[in-house]
């Protein structure tokens, strides 16, 4: 996403706009959600020459696809992301307090928008996307969707008490057997 800005020169106040559709590059997202590779990104940007460089501002409308982090249901929506970045001229001095790597540069009258868009889009995406705020997710025992079966539960016996549960079952059987034999003796 290289944009030539030679026409803006170094005249502060010179400006132009760009309304364009560009394909999304690879890896435009996080683990569970992102912008699909090759999908249409709608850019509405303004390039304005300022004393230090070129100020790029505007918005990007991106299609987002992924899956719910709780129930794994597919999620799909569009996100309008604000973009604002100052690209410094190649010969501009570094400002105190700012790292050289953090300053974006205009190289041979060209601005590379991909890193700026990637930063704006990825930081706007949810880290743990959900289909709905009250999504109950999946059962941790069997993987059933809890939304489809609200009363779903499993009898879970604490392994530390499992041996006693077995004794309780044996004691009840022994009691029933002894009651039957006492009744036979009385008859």
pLDDT per position as a tens digit, 68-122: 998 889 999 999 999 999 988 877 665 544 555 567 888 888 899 999 999 999 9
Characterize 29-56 residue by residue with b for buried, 16 or more Cβ atoms within 10 angstroms of its Cβ, and e for exposed.
Answer: beebbbbbeeeebebebebbbbeebbeb
Per-residue model confidence as pLDDT tens for the chain (187 residues)? 788 787 877 778 889 999 999 999 988 888 889 999 999 999 999 999 888 888 999 999 999 999 999 888 999 999 999 999 998 887 766 554 455 556 788 888 889 999 999 999 999 999 889 998 888 888 877 877 888 877 887 777 777 877 776 676 555 555 555 555 555 556 5
Overall pTM > 0.85: no
Residue boundaries of the structural domains of the chain = 2-124
């Amino acid at each position: 996403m290289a944009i030539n800005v030679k026409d803006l020169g170094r005249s502060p106040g010179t400006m132009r706009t760009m309304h364009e559709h560009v394909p999304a590059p690879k890896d435009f997202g996080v683990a569970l959600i992102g912008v699909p590779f090759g999908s249409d990104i709608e850019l509405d940007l303004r390039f304005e020459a300022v004393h230090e460089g070129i100020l790029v501002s505007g918005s990007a409308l991106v299609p987002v696809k992924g899956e719910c982090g709780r129930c794994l249901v597919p999620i799909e929506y569009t996100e309008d992301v604000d973009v604002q970045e100052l690209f410094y001229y190649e010969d501009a001095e570094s400002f105190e307090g700012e790292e050289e790597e953090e300053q974006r540069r205009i190289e041979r009258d060209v601005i590379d928008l991909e890193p700026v868009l990637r930063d704006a889009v990825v930081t706007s995406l949810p880290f743990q996307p959900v289909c709905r705020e009250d999504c109950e997710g999946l059962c941790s025992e069997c993987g059933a969707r809890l939304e489809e079966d609200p009363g779903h539960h499993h009898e879970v016996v604490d392994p530390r008490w499992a041996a006693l549960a077995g004794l309780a079952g044996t004691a009840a059987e022994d009691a029933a057997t002894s009651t039957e034999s006492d009744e036979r003796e009385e008859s």
